[in-house]
Structure 1
Amino acid sequence: MTTAHEPTARGTQPPDDRSGQRRSAPRAKSAPEHDQHWEERVRVASKILGIPPDSDPDDAICVTEVHATDGGGWRFEMGGTKVPPCSLLVEPLDPQQDYFSRGVHLGFRYSGDTFKPIIGQLLGFLTKRLVKATIGLLDKYLRPVEAPPMHDDDGSGGAAPTPPPERYGPCPGMHQSWNHENQWKWYLAKAELEQIKDSIVKFETPFVYIEHSDFECQFLAPRNFVCYPWKTPNRRFADADAREASSGLEGDQSLGLALYTNYKDIDVITGATGFISDVMEKVTQHLRPEVVWVDQTCVPEVIGDDTHTLVKLAAEKASFPILYKNQTPVDPYDRNLQMMREAFAAATGTPKTAGGVALVGLANDLAREELVTLLGELGATVTSAIIPAVAPSMAEGYLRAEVAAFYPNDEWKKFYVDLLGAQDVRRLDPPSPYGIAATHAYVRQILMALGREDQLAALDARRDAFVAERWAPRVAEAAQHRLGLVCELSQFARMWDAGASWGLPIMGTLAEMGFGLDLAVIATPDTGDEVDDAVRAAVAAHLPEGTQLSWVAAEAELDAWLASASFGPVFSEYFFDSRLIRHRHVPFSGQCFERGWQGAVRSIDRLLDRCHLPLVATYGDLL
């Protein structure tokens, strides 16, 4: 057996003893002073090899040093309380050479003063772990990335971005780069809403949620690009006091704990089920939640992390249920519905509160708190506000109500029935309380159901005073502006039907505010859209008076429509929609709207601000 001599980081490797082993080279006692990447390289090498770095002197086996060899390979020095100092040399496989062991692309050599059985086990483990690895892979993660040399135009001055290679053509616009030929049609985020619609429902039990994922997914998920109607980041802090004030409506629930693993690039190769094992062990030892959810996301699913088995093993030892979910769609409510049924059963016989009403489907925000206050001043006591927050502690408050007002949302129809359909509370289905008229109708229906007709005159007087003082002047100003709306024919119901659009009837709400509307309906032959007289009549029947309707059949036609200066801001559920920006239209979405009378004023003010925003109108083609 012959082997090539490989120089070490400190000199020349001792000659081969012709047994597949090498006599040990002296081990370093500290990081080489010239290698600023030494510590990081040891850490990364430890991940690759699946053994810990030299951070604890009591480690049974650990990596102590990593060196590149002149022959294009890598030498890993190891040791520990159970393993004497030894080295593993990994180099590109040469069929003509003899090795201690070999993988598909690599050859492995051992160097050490002794060869104990445990070393053979260690080398067998490392050979199996690196059986399909390549030197290129090791180089990618172990060699430091050298910064490119600085040039005069590397600062923050007027350096232009590097143009794309000519073979790629010009840089595409955002909607073209989303990799779908029909993206130009989509201004309503149907697919994204469908994907995440269940996440808004929060079961406020003492729980632990563990997401096994690449943490970068937290910033690449649809919620970072889609303006979900229930997400209101621009008012998050303004609503904080209201959420605190109304917390009693949602019971004395305990907060859950969300934990996230964090995939690194190397974990995609080596796997990261160890993260889950560590977290589950600590949760079992130190916490006593009512339920644990383990959510395996796309990356571990693709690389084959067997998280499901780990969850099953942990569930056998735990005193609480541990539930597993991957990217396969499942009913997310089964376990929680059972908990709620038990809570309602325990609260059977709860006495009713005279004039009590439960609000169903209204998120906890400032607008809801204002509705609660208005109802209270008119003689209706809100005993519960359930969904999207749900907790066993809410069951008693819901059963104390004489009536329950359900917020119109087609996505929650089944959930409403599954959770509340069997309870002894009379159901009301008032209009969605967006705008002045609908809020008035919402409160009026509740008062009448509670037998408080004596308060209807007071309700009317409040409305009239509010309209005269705060609403009418804004409507007069809004009448000077027109807004744009775009939708596919198949999605037209979202323009007018509150139930189909998460409670917001967009066209009706904007028309009540006084805005003129321009609507483009996209109907293309490839999706089977046939626009005959009956279809045109059905669409026209739902349009507010004065709406300008345009039918669009091609992307060029929509671009021409958007190029029109006859209207200002345009509705889009995609954040900072560059398709609108480049045509100098300010985007707006459902996040601009709030329920209730005061919420309607804040909503119209946001839209008027967008109408008056000069930045996009002046510099839209540069943004």
Structure 2
Amino acid sequence: MSAPPCWPRQPRWARFFARDELRRRRYSAFVPAQPAIDLQHGDLECRFTFPVDDGLSPGYLDAPWRRANRETVAAAYLALTTDLREDDVVSGGLAKADEALTLAVDEAGAGRLVAFNPACVPDLTGEDTAGLARRVGARARVLFRPSDGSDMTLKAVAEAARSARAGARREDGRAGAALLGFLGGRAQRELRLWLARLGVETGACLVPCLADACFRAAAEASVLIAADDRLFSEAVRAAETALGRAAVRLPPPYGFAGARAWLLAAADAVGAPSDARAEVAACLEEAERGAEQLVRLAGEHRLAFIVAPGEEALLDDPAENAGVPLVSVLRTFGFGVDVIAGPFGSPEELAAHLARGRFDAVYSDFAFDRRLGRAGKARFSLADFEPGPEGAARTLGRLLGLCRTSFYRRYAGHLR
């Protein structure tokens, strides 16, 4: 009898990747880009399972979108809950939902989205939340998560894209692009500036950013450029389908070589003029030369990955790592890379292997990983990687700083 799929093949003490957990939490990356009210109809504890990751509060996982969220100015966002109690479960809580949704719709005003998200309690008690959403939501734009388990965010993406497509007015000869599946923050803004140097106006960045204005710009863009990332692939496909066009997939824009390949491929996709391409190529070469000293220093250090047997190939699959081919990027930076495949017989065997390893830092998705601190090793994760030329320079400097810090080596004996 095989083990049920919900249980990982590797014991938790030997796991350093949390891909499934990050996929479940991927909607924490969706930062409101237009005013929104999120009404959850359920008990207060359910609210804790739908956190908004602002990139500032500490979390159990070091998600790849934390830096982007911290660097993104979100629109006005209001979270409400009906806070159902035991008596509501017995006598029904639909009156609370009616009052709260009516208040949210009244407060929404023009251009504000209302998300009505019933939790498990009203589903179990059989309340007609769908009827309530139709009746009250007729006066505003209300997104409703039905109890059939369908994805409300995918529904929002598809509806907004279809609406934008219907009213789109695309101008012939205009070189415009829309980015799909790229995290926000400073690195995204820098990528858009590089595209502007190529004569490409980037009017929209969709998913995880959601805003009506961005959907309109995407519908009018001459080309859609999508990231290779399983975290947001379903939402990107929903946007492509609703917009009636397929997006192009370009090489991952991580590391200096990757950023250059991505930008030049984007230039080809939109038909950028040759003089703009030559100017950008020269600037990229200059940026790489400016990092040569850091690359030489990186050659003095090693980084390690601990993986389950058979998962070594996933390290260089961008779709599995938020768009980053991890090993390839680290090697272009000059770092030595150790890939260690288990299994380990016990936590003590793993600890001994970490302690005697000749590497300075180990990959872990877990924000406070005592296994590494006790072994005298620093920790790095996807949150340390940024796309684009400037992002590559910051990534290299960040990883080099982690390798050179002496804190964990000096105090490992006290981190028990």
Q: TM-score, structure 2 length as denominator?
A: 0.82
Contact 1:592 1:606 (8 Å CA) reproduced: yes
Counterpart of 2:116 (choices 287, 294, 311) is: 294
1:492 corresponds to: 312
Q: Equivalent residues in 2 for 1:140-155 (5 A)?
A: none
The counterpart of 2:215, out of the listed 387, 395, 403, is 395
Q: Which amino acid aligns with 1:418?
A: A
Cα distance, 1:379 vs structure 2: 2.4
* CA–CA separation in structure 2 for the residues paired with 1:327 and 1:315: 15
Cα offset, 1:445, TM superposition: 0.9
Give the RMSD, CA atoms, in angstroms. Answer: 3.5
Equivalent of 1:559 in 345, 351, 354: 351
The answer to whether the 8 A contact 1:356-1:382 is kept is: yes
Specify which structure has the bigger relative contact order, considering alpha-carbon pairs within 8 angstroms and separated by 6 or more residues. 2
Quickly say closer, same or farther: Cα 1:553–1:493, change in 2 above 3 A. farther
In the alignment, is residue 312 of structure 1 matched against residue 134 of structure 2?
no
Deviation of 1:476 after TM superposition, in Å, equals: 1.1
Map 1:454-493; keep pairs closer than 5 Å: 454-469=275-290, 471-493=291-313
Match of 1:227 among 58, 62, 75: 62
Q: Which residue of 2 aligns with 1:374?
A: 194
- Of 64, 80, 84, 1:259 maps to 80
User: How far does residue 215 in structure 1 lie from its aligned partner after superposition?
Assistant: 5.4
Separation of aligned partners in 2, 1:376 and 1:322: 36
Name structure 2 gaps, 5 residues minimum: 1-6, 54-58
With 210-219 and 558-567 compared, the bigger mean Cα shift is at: 210-219
Shift of 1:505: 1.2
Is 1:517 matched up with 2:337?
Answer: yes
Bigger Rg, structure 1 or 2: 1
**Alignment match of 2:16 (pick from 187, 209, 219):** 187
4+ long deviations beyond 6 Å: 178-181, 219-223
Query: Using a 3 Å threshold, how does the CA distance of structure 1 residues 343 and 401 change in structure 2: closer, same or farther?
Result: closer
1:509-563 Cα offsets, whole Å, 9 max, x none, are 111111111211135xxxxxxxxxxxxxxxxxxxxxxxxxxxx565454333212
Q: Give the number of aligned pairs.
A: 396
Matched residue SS, 1:558:
helix
What amino acid maps onto 1:617 in structure 2?
R
2:28 and 2:52 in contact (8 A); partners too:
no
TM-superposed deviation, 1:598? 1.0
- Equivalent position of 2:366 in the other structure: 574
Is the alpha carbon distance of 1:458 and 1:582 closer, same or farther for their aligned partners in structure 2, counting shifts above 3 Å? same
Over 3 Å counting, the alpha-carbon distance change for 1:579 and 1:179 in structure 2 is farther
2:356 aligned counterpart, secondary structure: coil
Distance 1:346 1:401, change over 3 A: closer
- Cα offset for 1:200? 3.0
1:602–1:341: structure 2 CA closer, same or farther, 3 Å change rule? same
Query: What residue number does 1:607 align with?
Result: 399
Gaps of 5+ in 1: 1-177, 245-253, 524-551
Matched, 1:214 2:44: yes
Higher helix content, 1 or 2: 2
CA distance in 2, matches of 1:586, 1:307: 51
**For residue 225 of structure 2, what is the amino acid of its counterpart?**
A
CA contact (8 A) 2:361 2:402 kept: yes
* AA aligned opposite 1:459: V
Q: 1:281 to 1:218 in 2, by over 3 A?
A: same
1:559-578 CA-to-partner distances (Å, cap 9, x unmatched) read 33212141111110011111
Change in 2 beyond 3 A, CA 1:459/1:281 = closer
Cα deviation code 1:285-340 (max 9, x no counterpart): 44447653233457x57xx8748435634643442465554887422222541232
**Aligned ranges 1:259-278 → 2 under 5 Å:** 259-261=80-82, 267=85, 273=93, 276-278=97-99
Q: Which amino acid aligns with 2:39?
A: I
User: Residues 205, 379 of structure 1: CA spacing in aligned structure 2 closer, same or farther, 3 A cutoff?
Assistant: closer
> What TM-score, normalized by structure 1, do the two folds share?
0.57
Structure 1 equivalent of residue 327 of structure 2: 507
Report 1:28-427 matches (<5 A).
182-201=11-30, 204=33, 207-211=36-40, 212-214=42-44, 218=48, 224-232=59-67, 236=70, 239=71, 255-261=76-82, 267=85, 273=93, 276-288=97-109, 292-297=114-119, 300=121, 306=125, 308-309=127-128, 312-313=131-132, 315-319=134-138, 320=140, 322-325=142-145, 329-332=149-152, 333-347=154-168, 349-352=169-172, 354-421=174-241, 423=243, 427=247
CA positional deviation for 1:457: 2.8
- On the 8 A contact 2:304/2:359 being kept in 1, the answer is yes
